[in-house]
Amino acid sequence: MKPITDIKKLEKKANLIRQDLINMLLKAGSGHSAGSLDMADVFTALYFNILNHNPKQPLWTDRDRLFLSCGHIVPIRYAAMAHAGYFPRSELNTLRKLGTKLQGHPERTMLPSMESTSGPLGSGLAQAAGYAYAARMDNKKFRVYCVTSDGEHDAGNHWEAVLFAGKNKLSNLTAIIDRNNIQIDGHTEDIMPLEPLEDKYKAFNWHVLHIDGHNFQEILDAVKHAKAVYEKPTVIIAHTIPGKGISFMENLPEWHGKPPKEDEAKKAIEELKAAEKKIDEEQE
């Protein structure tokens, strides 16, 4: 699909996707708010600028592959996919319903182009690295992207994948870390400190970039940078604010796995609509 290059248009799209997310979680009565909100900008950039994909042909052989390791934030991916045209936006209301394509964690066989089933944290990068390795063996030119959470870096199998990708110099693989510093039990640096995170990846032969995960220009520039690195895989550490865009959710670990209630959803939508109006004014 034709990429959106105007930053303000991307910001507005991300805002609309956040609004749909709030309504989805409210109707479902369950789901993860904080991480989904903070990755809205990254997923908007992926589906509306970065990925080489075709919503009308979701299983197109030469599409870029996107793996979501932290499957609990899949509602934001569903919302981005609906806006991109993979399925009607009305289907977003079926989130977590019995038999829906939009399960609480992604199910590969339920939704075309969902490259993997994910739920157990720490397994996604291994799947993505294996896919990237196979693609290189088959001389395929598509790129492989993997979105991971910072909390799942507590899992040993994630680091096995980091080691494998670095050893095999998988330059067709780009990992994006949602570095929001929270996990279900609290802040990451209290539960299991990850720093110095950059040094750890570098020790395993990865190229490391840091970005503001809410700055579209930085997101797009980092991915372009990654494409120019031919001798190793790249990890983009996207520094994000959990619950981004909703004042009473931001930076609070308690919103990791909690949906908004009706009054909270109403307030959240009001804040997002106010932000949308501001974006429109800046475009004029």
pTM of the model: 0.97
Q: Decide if 84 is inside a domain.
A: yes
What is the span of the domain harbouring residue 279? 7-283
Q: Decide if 262 is inside a domain.
A: yes
Q: Decide if 2 is inside a domain.
A: no
Q: Decide if 96 is inside a domain.
A: yes
Q: Decide if 1 is inside a domain.
A: no
Q: For the chain, 284 residues long, give each residue's pLDDT as a single digit of tens.
A: 789 999 999 999 999 999 999 999 999 999 999 999 999 999 999 999 999 999 999 999 999 999 999 999 999 999 999 999 999 999 999 999 999 999 999 999 999 889 999 878 999 999 999 999 999 999 999 999 999 999 999 999 999 999 999 999 999 999 999 999 999 889 999 999 999 999 999 999 999 999 999 999 999 999 999 999 999 999 999 999 999 999 999 999 999 999 999 999 999 999 999 999 999 998 87
Instruction: Write out the DSSP string of the chain.
Output: -PPP--HHHHHHHHHHHHHHHHHHHHHHT----HHHHHTHHHHHHIIIII----TTSTT-TTPPEEEESSGGGHHHHHHHHHHHTSS-GGGGGGTT-TT-SS-SS--TTTSTT------STT-HHHHHHHHHHHHHHTT----EEEEEESGGGGSHHHHHHHHHHHHTT-TTEEEEEEE-SEETTEEHHHHS---SHHHHHHHTT-EEEEEETT-HHHHHHHHHHHHT--SS-EEEEEE--TTTT-TTTTT-GGGTT----HHHHHHHHHHHHHHHHHHHHHH-
Q: Decide if 171 is inside a domain.
A: yes
Q: Decide if 146 is inside a domain.
A: yes
Q: Decide if 132 is inside a domain.
A: yes
The tally of domains found in the chain comes to: 1
CATH code where residue 42 lies: 3.40.50.970
